[in-house]
Amino acid sequence: MPKENVSLDRKFGHIVRTASQSHIELKPVYNSGDMNHLSYDNDIGDPGIYPYTRGIYPEMFRDRLWLKSFIVSYSTPEETNQAFREYIANGLTDLRILADLPTQCGIDPDHPAAWNSMMCGGVATYGIPTYERMLEGLPLENVVYEFAHMGISNFIYNYSMLVSIMENKGLDLNKLHGNGINDPIRAKLVYECPDFPTDIARRVYMDHIEYAVKKTPRWKPCVPNGVDPQQRGMDVPKELGGCLALATAMIQELKGRGITIDEYGPMVFALDAESDFFETIAKFRAARKMWAVIAKEKLGATHPKSMQLKIGIRTSGLSLQWQKPLNNAARVTLQILSCVLGGVNSIDASSIDEAIGLPSLEARVFNLDTQHIITHEANVPLVADPLGGSYFVEALTSRIEKETNQYLNEIEARGGIFECLESGYLHEVMEANRLKIQREKEEKKRLIVGVNAFQAEGEEGPVNKAIRDVAYRSPTIKDRENMVSEVIGFKAGRDRNAVKRTLKNIYMAAKSGENLNPPMIDAAKAGATIGEVVGIIRTGYGIPYDPFNQIQMPEMVKQIAGQGGNK
Amino acid sequence: MNENKPIRVLIAKIGCDIHERGPITLMTAFRDAGMEVIYTGRYATPERVVQTAMDEDVDIIALSDHTGSMPIIAESVMAELKKNDEMDIHVMAGGLILPSDIPALENMGVKGNYGPGTPLETIIKYTKSLVHPV
């Protein structure tokens, strides 16, 4: 039987758009005319020299390679500890810590609202015993740790845990390195985090920053985060503008507490690496330049270091697809490459199986190996800012700077970043862009391979199937019951007087305006839990103990707050 | 049932799951398809979800969860519906649902059980067919 004739469409798979992911319209060709408005010294400059567009170190990656990072947080502290060990053996150099979702909301595992998400997305780090098990045998000095949580309560609390453990072991707090996100805009805008209303969150985040800057100079207690706002709908100028606005507000408020930007030192942002390759690179370049200018011109930085922006990356989880998951390897590789070409300081790359569940070990080793291949086989990091001077990249960097400045002016005209959060303006901007993107996908003006274009025909192959089969299981009912028993047992076995005394000190600090961080460290050592410290701060502010309004305050808190019982 | 009356859907997230992009995308898509949609927001309880479903007289509760805990969440909602004698409200589920969890969900009477990346048209078509069987 003769075979059917094949018809071939020369235009199959052709380009469907002319604008970047953030709707920046691009020309087909750029030339020297697109750089006429730029001066090399003022706008670009050599790497290591103000305004740091091309990078903060003179020799960039020859001097120090970016840190390779993952959030490592599985259901139990033991699994998490084991995973850290395996990733370190494969080249992990930056340890990102997270917790399960209830902990991130500021409640304990024995809270009724915890049950449905308990031990999901991470360890229930309710108190010091889980911390000790999670970090057992891992180095604490001169290693970079990062906290990626959502609730503002979690940063001051996790920091207090790390400090407590280091002090208990007699370690040097000057050697505590790393950072915590501690971004109250993200906590509300992206997560509506229930732990604290924004007024309390603003007090707690600043208390923690003030304390950490003085006590642990190598710890960055605030990392304005653009990753999650971007994932939730913001475009690049809004992602970057939000970070710059928060960082500016934070440094100004810190000045009111007697700490200058020169004492604070370099700023760190957490930015997203999206699929749009050149836009992502240009964003990192623009970010460094814009912060340098703001730090120097607006915030009075005099030391070069305090004009520098370090960029920590989380590659886009949202860009990864459930369909044909093998394709995620291409997406992640390009995103990592954009980070390297953009001169970032640390990379936490999402894994190819991330649209299916928590990442498997193999997928993450692939991730680390991708970075080793970019370094040692592709030789990409040998030369600093290799795209510097490209007509297109310089023009795009400048364009992002311009659009971001317009957004910053808008925020300022509306009374500042916190006013824009409270008024709902930030949410409106974010939702409008999210909707625009959803419509573009529906109308196929934005193609996602395997999702709204180039879909798979017929049966899925063995490689894609295997990627999907490794999904990490969520904890069983039995696991959750055991966790609840563990917490109840832990609470019953503590020195009740020590817990009560330290909680009372937090309560008094909340009421009087004293810094909350010192009594928080004492409370961590005494075994107070995340739910208790969140509750006592709320009580000190005269709002209900429980963020979910489901449980009564414990007897000892009633006594502290003078609401019946023995004082 | 009156075919002209718009289908009313309550999209619900129970517990501490923060992943909201799915339910919000679905909310827009359902509205575009002519349905009336209410969204509980995050951090809801089974009691509140069922109470809202009754107060708002919805045809369907659409549960969203990305923690892998859908069987636990769905069970609590089904129990609450039974307690209130509201078993005629349909329950659908979507999000991070493991294939191995689907039989248990179906046994409870939970419909749809859509994993990540399910085309919106598929979900909309099925949702309509639940309320207006052909």
Domains of chain B, each with CATH number or no CATH: 8-129 (3.40.50.280)
A361-400: pLDDT as tens digits: 889 999 999 999 999 999 999 999 999 999 999 999 999 9
Contacting residues of A for B96, CB less than 8 Å apart = 356-357
Mean pLDDT, residues A177-183: 98
Residues 6+ apart with CB under 8 A from A239: A226, A227, A229, A230, A271, A272, A283
Residue B23: what pLDDT?
94
Q: Do A114 and B117 touch (CB under 8 A)?
A: no
- E strands within A15-87? 67-71
Contacting residues of B for A194, CB less than 8 Å apart = 43
Pick from A148, A146, A143, A111: which is nearest to A126 by CA? Answer: A111
Residue A567 pLDDT grade (very low, low, confident, very high; cuts 50, 70, 90): very low
Mean pLDDT, residues A58-79: 94
Residue in the block written with tokens 């009724």 = A112
Sequence letter at residue A76: T
Q: Do A232 and B72 touch (CB under 8 A)?
A: no
Residues 6+ apart with CB under 8 A from A407: A237, A238, A241
Residue B1 pLDDT grade (very low, low, confident, very high; cuts 50, 70, 90): low
Q: Which of A120, A477, A548 sits opposite B67 (nearest CB)?
A: A120
Tokens of residue A424, six digits? 């709902």
Domains of chain A, each with CATH number or no CATH: 35-64+230-267+277-316+323-350+361-442 (3.20.20.240), 496-560 (no CATH)
A407-466: pLDDT as tens digits: 999 999 999 999 999 999 999 999 999 999 999 999 999 999 999 999 877 788 888 888
Give percent of chain A above pLDDT 70. 99
CA distance A160 to A207: 12
Mean pLDDT, residues A296-301: 98
Residue A361: what pLDDT?
87
Q: Which of A116, A357, A438 sits opposite B15 (nearest CB)?
A: A116
Residue B2 pLDDT grade (very low, low, confident, very high; cuts 50, 70, 90): low
Count CB atoms within 10 A of the CB of residue A564.
9
Residue in the block written with tokens 């500042």 = A416
Mean pLDDT, residues A535-556: 96
DSSP chain B: --TTSPPEEEEE-BSS----HHHHHHHHHHHHTT-EEEE--SSB-HHHHHHHHHHTT-SEEEEEESSS-HHHHHHHHHHHHHHTT-TTSEEEEEES--GGGHHHHHHHT-EEEE-TT--HHHHHHHHHHHHS--
Counting Cα atoms < 13 Å in the Cβ hemisphere of A193 gives 29
Pick from A65, A76, A200: which is nearest to A474 by CA? Answer: A76
Residue A566: what pLDDT?
41
- pLDDT at residue A131 tops 70: yes
Residue A559: what pLDDT?
96
Mean pLDDT, residues A229-242: 97
Mean pLDDT of chain B: 93
Q: Provide the greatest CA pair distance for chain B.
A: 38
Lowest-confidence region among A21-35, A63-77, A414-428: A63-77
Burial of A232 (0-12, 13-18, 19+ CB in 10 A): buried
Pick from B116, B22, B20: which is nearest to A354 by CA? Answer: B116
Answer whether A96's CB lies under 8 Å from A70's CB.
yes
Q: Which of B29, B43, B116 sits opposite A194 (nearest CB)?
A: B43
Mean pLDDT, residues B95-113: 94
Residue A564: what pLDDT?
47
Residue in chain B closest to A149 (alpha carbons) equals B18
Residue A471 pLDDT grade (very low, low, confident, very high; cuts 50, 70, 90): low
Strand-pairing partners, residue B111, are B92
- pLDDT at residue A164 tops 60: yes
Phi, psi of A312 (to 5 degrees): -105, 140
